[in-house]
Amino acid sequence: MASITTFRVGHCTHPSCMVLKGSGLASRCFPSRAYLIETRAGLYLWDTGYAEHFRAATAKGVYRLYAWVTPISFDAHESLPGQLRAHGVSPNDIHTLLLSHFHADHIAGLRDFPAVRLMCSQVGWDAVRGLSGFAAVRQAFVPELLPDDIADRLGFVESVAETALPAALHPFTLGRDVSGTGEIYIVALPGHAVGHIGAFVLQDNGWTLLASDAAWVPESFQQLRGPSELSFLIQHQRAPYYATLRRLHQLHQSGNAQIRITHEGTPDYVAVAGHP
């Protein structure tokens, strides 16, 4: 069975009410995470979190808006390649880097993995390729973060046929076994971004859904409480977002899978070096 190791790679801050209606104006910390998935087929990495590249790419032009709206904290000790090496893994050991979507806080470290195969949703890629300027910022996308050779290294999850998921994972019924071993199934989680995906990972203790940004805080899927309506200025579509949130709520109530979201934290969370 697969195993998951979590890495915290920088964080940003926002007023709590932006991500959860009615939760007040207090500033809330949102760690950005990457996940190392060890399978029988090799090592997979889920997203990259932040990287120093983000500061450089958002220090000029219209991209400064992104850094202004989303203030981040990132220290050298949070470098994902460094954390992987401390875990005994070289960046070149990664079999595939899976991208949940193309928002900057999930792809900022791509240039730190120059030899690794990349995989994402084709509709997600088609939605951002060629974007620049304000049109890119509107989709929380910073094109300078992409490796120059991304088109040559990028594969698409749609190339893997959909198969039936175990009945226990209802209301999720279909997934794409990108591992080829039954350990990682990609599922669509629409609403947050075009082509936004998650991954069911089978571990010894059962299933875990890496749900990316389908919710920003656990209260959302636990209590069916959405974010501020203002958030849909950058999120893709409200109706599919809430449809996905309801599916997460059903899965949570079933108790058949653990749900992990990328930015999970607490209102009074204090950034601590090495905290997952």
Q: Please compute the mean of the pLDDT values over residues 87-113 and round it to a whole number.
A: 98
Q: Does pLDDT of 176 surpass 70?
A: yes
Q: Does pLDDT of 219 surpass 60?
A: yes
Q: Does pLDDT of 266 surpass 90?
A: no
Q: What percent of the chain has pLDDT over 90?
A: 88
Q: What confidence category does residue 248 fall into, taking pLDDT thresholds of 50, 70 and 90?
A: very high
pLDDT at 114: 96
Question: Parallel, antiparallel, or unpaired for β 184-188 and 197-203?
Answer: antiparallel
Q: Please compute the mean of the pLDDT values over residues 150-154 and round it to a whole number.
A: 96
Higher pLDDT: 128 or 115? It is 128
Nearest 10 degrees: CA dihedral of 59, 65, 69, 70?
A: -40
Q: Does pLDDT of 180 surpass 70?
A: yes
pLDDT tens digit sequence for 90-101: 999 999 999 999
Q: Rounded CA gap, 265 and 76, in Å?
A: 21
Q: Report whether 232 contacts 225 (CB < 8 A).
A: no
Q: Does pLDDT of 270 surpass 60?
A: no
pLDDT at 28: 87
Q: What is the largest CA-CA distance in the chain?
A: 49
Give the full edge-to-edge strand order of the sheet including 42-46. Answer: 72-73, 3-15, 27-39, 42-46, 94-98, 117-120, 154-156
Compute the mean pLDDT over every residue in the chain, rounded to the nearest whole number: 94
Higher pLDDT: 270 or 205? It is 205
Q: Does pLDDT of 258 surpass 50?
A: yes
- Short-list 127, 183, 140, 166, CA closest to 2: 183
Higher pLDDT: 270 or 70? It is 70
Q: Does pLDDT of 275 surpass 60?
A: no
pLDDT at 26: 87
Q: What confidence category does residue 274 fall into, taking pLDDT thresholds of 50, 70 and 90?
A: very low
Q: What confidence category does residue 47 fall into, taking pLDDT thresholds of 50, 70 and 90?
A: very high
pLDDT at 228: 95
DSSP state of 88: T
Look at the block and give the residue holding tokens 């000029």.
60
Note the CATH number of domain 3-260: 3.60.15.10
Q: What percent of the chain has pLDDT over 70?
A: 96
User: Structure tokens of 97?
Assistant: 């880097």
Domain map (residue ranges) of the chain: 3-260
For residue 268, what are the CA distances in angstroms to 12, 30, 35? 13, 11, 24
Q: Rounded CA gap, 1 and 3, in Å?
A: 7
User: Structure tokens of 99?
Assistant: 């991208």
For residue 223, what are the CA distances in angstroms to 106, 159, 226, 254? 26, 35, 9, 14
Count H helices, E strands: the chain? 10, 13
